[in-house]
Amino acid sequence: MPRLSLQDKARAIGQLEAGIPVRRVAALCGVSPGNISKLRTKFCETGEVKDRTRSGRPRKTTAPEDNSPRRPVPHPCFTEEP
């Protein structure tokens, strides 16, 4: 099933508010009626059509740490004297 873009979600909500049935809106968007129904429920609860933030693993580094240069690790072949 394709994901709806933010514009498509807003268009679907507009069509629902104009009185077009859920099945017809789903057919026009190319998704299941359940997706449109969930979208309408989310819009009624939050007033927005954008995706909610998702949970995930917290970052271990900060943005400045990501951008800072790292010291190269010397290779053993080049550090030992023969």
| pLDDT, tens digit, 9 for 90 and up, residues 36-53 | 999 999 999 999 998 878
Does 18 map to a domain?
Answer: yes
Does 32 map to a domain?
Answer: yes
Closest listed residue to residue 3, CA positions, set 27, 33, 28, 35: 35
Q: What percent of the chain has pLDDT over 70?
A: 91
Mean pLDDT of 24-40: 95
Does 26 map to a domain?
Answer: yes
Query: Quick one: pLDDT at residue 1?
Result: 52
Q: What percent of the chain has pLDDT over 90?
A: 55
What's the domain count of the chain? Answer: 1
Out of 15-29, 35-49, 65-79, least confident range: 65-79
Q: Do the beta carbons of residue 26 and residue 32 sit within 8 Å? A: yes
